[in-house]
Structures are given as structure tokens and as C-alpha cells.
């Protein structure tokens, strides 16, 4: 029987310059029509982008928006009410900042470590002086996170004040420290867990980020953890989703991070593509089937091979299987249809606290000569450029950008960190890298040194070659300066 031809929605891939593409059109294998692309160029590109989407008559725009472009894309989505964004900007709310993850979990009563967020320095100081330690302090807003570099364990009020006066993180994001065995990353498609693994900290350490030397394994992820991840995915109404869940020494589970932007093997992106094709054209595509706990077996395959495997599919065993090992009633997590919701759940007028609280020019965290903590009063304010609070938002110093196009070294949009694999060949000396950064217009000595000190030689090289967006996690180093760095790096003669 031939199906009557029905017209399909016109799909466009949402891309941004210098941001690694999570989806490729090959993830949508079998989609019969042309898949369009719309690329956002950083800077003042909103209207041109909107016009291009209209001109191409795109109905569905698919892709993640990095944190630094999140608010712009909320505006773009408003200007294109007929276009369906997948995921919606509401589903991507958590991609913007740790603060947003916290608001999201509070709203949906999802368990997180107790967290306080302060925009008023006096309130932060009062809390710091009055609370129990250890605490965890995190930078809330970074365009992309570099596994734990901006997360600090703090043992006293003095240490907290010292940290805030040095790092100037703003807002102050202060969380109870959870003694942890490990944490678990769960990835979901259509609210069904499709991959999950433990990340264990190195012996005697507390950070579980694998980029910090931790280990991973795919076996025996507790059901409660999968259930919690499903609840979060449903709350976000996310077509695809990842959650990092802490497992405390008392086996309590709390969400540390969640987002639609995460590092995923290509076969997982294929699964998302298959799912989305079915969502958008159920008359043309079968609902995909993902075997439950497939990760326990796929995870045995060497990751170098998993990284290349594509279009893995499962046949669904039926009742009549003669091996009799399959009982459909065992199935706990089914692939669900996400509903398409119009309207805004997290309008920026109500939730963009960062832009409502832009402070200027001063570092009010008090530190007297004894390292003692201020008594809730802001004290003398140091008036030098270095004392700006770190809002994660670039200052107004302009760096001329000649050409926005086609810089090499695409970057990942992942909010949840990926594992760096620095090439351990011939590494340059740290001083050479510092000198390189100093040679870039708009990058000062202090920042140059800070980048190299923080990331180390291999971390810097990894960032420049594979994850440039991570450099924008440094204070006052945002898109324009990043582009200047990448242009210089392209021309650079530093032989490694
Ligand atoms: N409240 C906490 N208590 C104990 N450890 C934490 C806490 N929050 C984060 N960590 C540890 O720090 C790591 C990094 O924190 P996370 O919030 O994931 O930031 P990012 O990955 O963006 O650097 C986590 O993987 C976990 O090992
Ligand atoms: Mg993390």
C-alpha cells in the first residue's frame, strides 16, 4: 500500500559560528527533503538571522543555543512565533547558567544540594558569616564549562570571602558540600534513558569530572537515579536531555547539572535524529525503539570505537520470541512523545536576573589585613579595573573583528563538559603560550597568565584546537576577544 504523500515541515539546523555542531544532517538519515541551515554570526546578527529563517520558510529549527547567546535567542524565538524551536528556549533554560538549573529544580521540586544565590553582596556576606562549612562555590554563568575549574570547596567564612574577592564571581552561588561516592550522567531521548554511566573521583579527591582524572563505568546505575533523570527531563519537556546526579555517601541523590547541551557519542545523536523525525512526521517514520540499559553492553565497547559507530538500531523483541527471555512487562521506561507547547514558561523579564543586576566597577567583598570577614557592611572599594565583579558578561572594550567567517577549530556547545584529550606530542612551554595570548589585541598580561595557569599547557592547546568556547569562561574574555585569539592562533607560528 502506498501512503499518500504528505508535505513535511521544513527543517533547519540552527548553527552558530565557532560552535561545534551537535547535529549534522546525517543524524536525520532518511529525511526525504532538503534540510536547511541557518548560521548565527556573533555580534549584531539578530535581525539578519530572523530574516533568513523567514526567507527559507523554515518551520522547525533544531539545535542547542550556547549560554552566551541564550537571551538573544529568546528574543529571536519571540520574533518567530510560527517557528518551532527544538528544543524550545524554555527546555534550554538550564543551559544558560547554574542559577537557572537551581530555579528549575526548585520549581519542579527536584532534589538538589541546598543552594543560595545572592546578587546583593551584603546578603552574601551575612550568609557566609552565618553558615556551616564546607561549602561549594561555583561560577554560575560560563558559556561552556571546563570540568570543575570554576568549582571550589570552601572550608571557612574567611576562605569564602577571599575567594569572592579574588574571583569576583557574581552572582554568589553557594551550595552545601555533598560528600559523594560518585556522580552519574544520564542521557535521555523522549524521556527514556538511553545512556548512563558512573563518574568516580580519583582516590582521595572530591571532583568527579572525568576531565580531572576520574573514571567511568556503565554498570548498575540505580533505578532511582534513572527515575530522577526522567522526572527532570519531563519537567523540562525536553526532546533530549542529560542530567548529572550526585550519589552521596548515604546514597542520597541530588541533581548537580542538567541541560539539553551535552557531549554525546554520534550514535546517540542519530537516535535523537530518529526520534525527532518520528515526532515531526509520524505518518512517515516509525517510532524508534531503544533497548533498555543498552549502555551496560555498549559501554563494554572501547570508546575509540564507540566514537565512530553510527546508526545503531535495535529490533524490538516480540511476545512470540521463542527464546522466551523477553517480557514486555519488564519495560519501565518507554519512549514518550514530547508535547509542543507554545508560550513562555521562563520569560526573561522575570528570570534573567543576571541582566537585571549588572553592577559596575567595584569589588565590594571586604578583606582586611587579618583576613577577617566584614560584618555585613561593604567596606572601602578598590577602584581599579581588576575589581570589576565577574558577571560573565563581556565589558565594553571593543576588539575589531575583521571577519566572522570560517575560523578553524570549531567548539563544542556542550554545557555538560566533555573529556579533553590533549595531544601529548611536543608541547610548547607555558611562557610561549602566555606570550602568544599577550600578542593578541585586547588580551592583557594578567589574563594571559591566568589562562595558562588555570588550564595548563595541554588544557590551553585542547581549548584552542577543539573547544575554543571554553576560553570564554574567563572573566572579560568573550566572543569578540575569542575571535581575535582564534585569528591569531590560525596565523601563529608556534610549532608544537
Ligand atoms: N555540592 C557539591 N558537593 C560536592 N561536590 C560537588 C558539588 N557540586 C559539584 N561537585 C563536584 O564538582 C564537579 C563539578 O561541578 P559541576 O556543578 O558539575 O560544575 P562543572 O562541571 O560545570 O564544572 C561535580 O562533577 C562534582 O564532582
Ligand atoms: Mg559538571
Domain assignment of residue 452, yes or no: yes
For 415-454, the pLDDT digits (tens) are 776 544 433 346 778 888 999 899 898 899 999 998 988 8
Q: What is the pLDDT of residues 368-422, one digit of tens each?
A: 444 444 443 333 333 333 446 777 665 433 333 333 333 333 445 677 765 444 3
Contacts of 109 (CB under 8 A, 6+ apart): none
101 alpha carbon, closest ligand: 1
446: DSSP letter:
H
Are residues 496 and 411 both part of a single domain?
yes
Q: Is residue 152 part of a domain?
A: yes
Residue 373, pLDDT score: 44
Any ligand 1 atom below 6 A from CB of 180: yes
Q: Ligand 2 centre from 257 Cα, in Å? A: 6
Give the number of whichever ligand sits closest to the CA of residue 98.
Answer: 1
> Please, are residues 285 and 277 in contact by the beta-carbon 8 Å criterion?
yes
The response to whether residue 272 sits with its C-beta less than 6 Å from ligand 1 reads no
187 vs 343: CA distance, rounded Å: 26
**Pocket lining: 242 vs ligand 1, CB cutoff 6 Å:** no
Residue in 199, 246, 247 to alter for ligand 1 test, most ligand atoms within 8 A of Cβ: 246
312 falls within a domain: no
CA of 120 to the centre of ligand 2 (A): 26
H or E element: which one contains 85? strand 84-86
CATH code at 21?
3.40.50
pLDDT beyond 50 at 131? yes
> Smallest Cα–Cα separation from 136: which of 210, 207, 204?
207
Are residues 46 and 73 in contact, defined by beta-carbon separation less than 8 angstroms?
Answer: no
Residue 368 cell numbers, joined? 582586611
Pair (15, 85) in one structural domain: yes
Q: Is the pTM value of this prediction over 0.85? A: no
Any atom of ligand 1 within 6 Å of the Cβ of 214: no
> Are 166 and 119 members of one domain?
yes
In the chain, what is the greatest distance between 2 CA atoms, to the nearest angstrom? 84
Could you tell me the CA-to-CA distances from 304 to 208, 308, 379 in Å, in that order?
21, 7, 54
75 with 132, same domain? no
Whether residues 367 and 424 share a domain: the answer is no
Alpha helices, DSSP H, located in 23-135: 46-55, 70-79, 93-96, 98-107, 121-130
State the alpha helices, DSSP H only, in 339-429: 348-351, 353-356
Q: How confident is the model at residue 320 (pLDDT cuts 50, 70, 90)?
A: low
For 125-163, b/e burial (b = at least 16 CB within 10 A) is bbbbeeeeeebbbbbbbbbbbbbbbbbbebeebbbbbbb
Q: Containing domain of residue 447, as a range?
A: 405-496
> Counting atoms of ligand 1 from 1, which one is nearest the CA of 246?
26
Q: Are 263 and 420 in contact (CB under 8 A)?
A: no
Distance 177 CA to ligand 1 centre (A): 9
The reply to whether 85 falls in a domain is yes
Residue 242 domain-assigned? no
DSSP 8-state secondary structure symbol assigned to residue 262: B
Strand partners, 189: 192, 240
Which of 444, 19, 14, 372 is CA-nearest to residue 162?
372
Ligand 1 near 136 CB (within 6 A): yes
Count how many residues are written for the chain. 496
Q: Does any domain span residue 96? A: no
Secondary structure letter of residue 258 according to DSSP: E
**Same-domain status, 410 and 367:** no
Cell numbers 570543575: residue: 148
**β pairing state of 60-62 and 84-86:** parallel
Q: Lay out the sheet containing 180-189: strands in order across.
A: 215-217, 192-200, 180-189, 240-248, 253-259
Mean pLDDT, range 129-133, rounded to an integer: 97
pLDDT digit string (tens) for 112-130? 999 999 999 999 999 999 9
Whole-angstrom CA distances from 435 to 400, 464, 484, 489 are 20, 15, 15, 12
Residue written as grid cell 570560517: 406
Which pLDDT band holds residue 150 (cuts at 50, 70, 90)? confident
> Is pLDDT at 86 greater than 90 in this prediction?
yes
Bond preceding residue 47 cis, omega within 30 of 0:
no
- Is residue 239 in a domain? no
Predicted pLDDT of residue 380: 32
Q: Cis peptide leading into 284, omega within 30 of 0?
A: no
151 lines ligand 1 (CB under 6 A): yes
CATH code of the domain containing 131? 3.30.1490.20
Per the structure, the count of domains in the chain is 3
Question: Do 453 and 412 share a domain, yes or no?
Answer: yes
pLDDT for position 264:
93
Residue 348 lies in a domain: no
Rounded to the nearest 10 degrees, what angle do helices 479-491 and 445-465 cross at?
70
Residue 277 DSSP label:
H
Q: Which residues pair with 176 in a beta bridge?
A: 135
Which residue carries 519488564 as its cell?
A: 330
CA distances from 299 to 173, 437, 487 (A): 35, 39, 39
Mean pLDDT for the stretch of residues 32-60: 96
Amino acid at each position: 500500500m502506498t501512503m499518500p504523500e504528505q508535505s513535511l515541515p521544513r527543517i533547519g539546523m540552527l548553527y552558530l559560528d565557532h560552535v561545534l555542531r551537535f547535529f549534522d544532517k546525517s543524524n536525520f538519515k532518511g529525511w526525504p527533503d532538503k534540510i536547511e541551515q541557518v548560521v548565527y554570526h556573533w555580534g549584531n546578527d539578530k535581525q539578519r538571522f530572523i530574516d533568513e529563517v523567514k526567507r527559507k520558510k523554515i518551520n522547525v529549527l533544531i539545535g542547542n543555543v550556547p549560554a552566551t547567546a541564550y537571551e538573544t535567542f529568546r528574543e529571536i524565538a519571540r520574533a518567530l512565533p510560527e517557528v518551532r524551536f527544538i528544543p524550545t528556549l524554555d527546555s534550554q533554560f538550564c543551559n544558560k547558567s547554574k542559577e537557572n538549573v537551581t530555579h528549575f529544580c526548585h520549581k519542579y521540586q527536584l532534589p538538589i544540594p541546598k543552594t543560595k544565590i545572592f546578587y546583593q553582596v551584603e546578603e552574601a556576606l551575612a550568609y557566609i558569616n552565618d553558615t556551616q562549612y564546607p561549602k561549594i562555590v561555583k561560577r554560575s554563568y560560563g558559556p561552556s564549562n571546563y570540568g570543575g575549574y570554576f568549582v571550589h570547596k570552601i572550608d571557612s567564612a574567611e576562605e569564602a570571602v577571599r575567594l569572592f574577592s579574588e574571583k569576583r564571581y557574581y552572582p554568589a552561588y553557594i551550595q552545601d558540600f555533598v560528600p559523594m561516592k560518585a556522580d552519574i550522567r544520564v542521557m535521555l531521548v523522549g524521556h527514556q534513558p538511553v545512556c548512563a554511566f558512573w563518574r568516580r573521583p580519583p582516590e582521595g579527591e572530591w571532583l568527579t569530572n572525568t576531565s580531572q582524572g576520574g573514571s567511568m563505568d556503565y554498570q548498575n546505575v540505580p533505578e532511582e537515579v534513572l527515575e530522577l533523570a526522567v522526572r527532570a527531563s519531563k519537567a523540562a519537556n525536553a526532546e533530549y536531555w542529560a542530567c548529572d546526579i550526585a550519589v552521596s555517601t548515604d546514597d542520597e541523590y541530588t541533581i548537580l547539572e542538567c541541560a539539553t547541551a551535552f557531549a554525546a557519542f554520534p550514535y546517540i545523536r542519530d537516535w535523537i535524529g530518529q526520534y525527532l523525525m518520528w515526532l515531526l512526521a509520524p505518518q512517515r517514520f516509525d517510532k524508534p525503539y531503544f533497548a533498555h540499559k543498552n549502555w551496560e553492553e555498549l559501554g563494554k565497547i572501547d570508546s575509540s570505537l564507540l566514537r565512530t559507530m553510527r546508526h545503531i538500531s535495535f529490533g524490538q523483541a516480540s511476545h512470540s520470541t521463542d527464546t522466551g527471555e523477553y517480557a514486555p512487562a519488564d519495560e519501565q521506561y518507554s519512549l514518550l512523545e514530547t508535547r509542543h507547547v507554545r508560550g513562555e514558561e521562563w520569560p526573561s523579564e522575570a528570570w534573567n536576573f543576571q541582566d537585571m543586576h549588572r553592577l559596575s566597577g567595584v569589588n565590594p567583598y571586604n578583606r582586611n589585613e587579618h583576613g577577617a570577614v566584614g560584618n555585613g557592611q561593604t567596606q572601602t572599594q578598590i577602584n581599579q579595573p581588576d575589581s570589576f565583579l565577574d558577571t560573565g558578561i563581556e565589558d565594553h572594550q571593543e576588539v575589531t573583528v575583521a571577519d566572522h567567517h570560517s575560523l578553524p577549530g570549531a567548539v563544542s556547545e556542550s554545557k555538560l563538559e566533555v573529556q579533553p584529550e590533549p595531544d601529548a606530542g611536543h608541547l610548547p612551554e607555558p611562557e610561549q603560550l602566555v606570550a602568544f595570548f599577550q600578542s593578541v589585541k585586547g588580551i592583557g598580561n594578567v589574563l594571559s597568565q591566568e589562562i595558562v595557569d588555570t588550564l595548563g599547557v595541554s588544557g590551553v592547546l585542547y581549548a584552542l584546537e577543539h573547544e575554543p568556547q571554553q576560553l570564554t569562561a574567563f572573566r572579560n574574555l568573550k566572543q569578540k576577544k575569542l575571535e581575535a585569539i582564534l585569528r591569531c592562533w590560525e596565523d601563529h607560528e608556534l610549532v608544537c
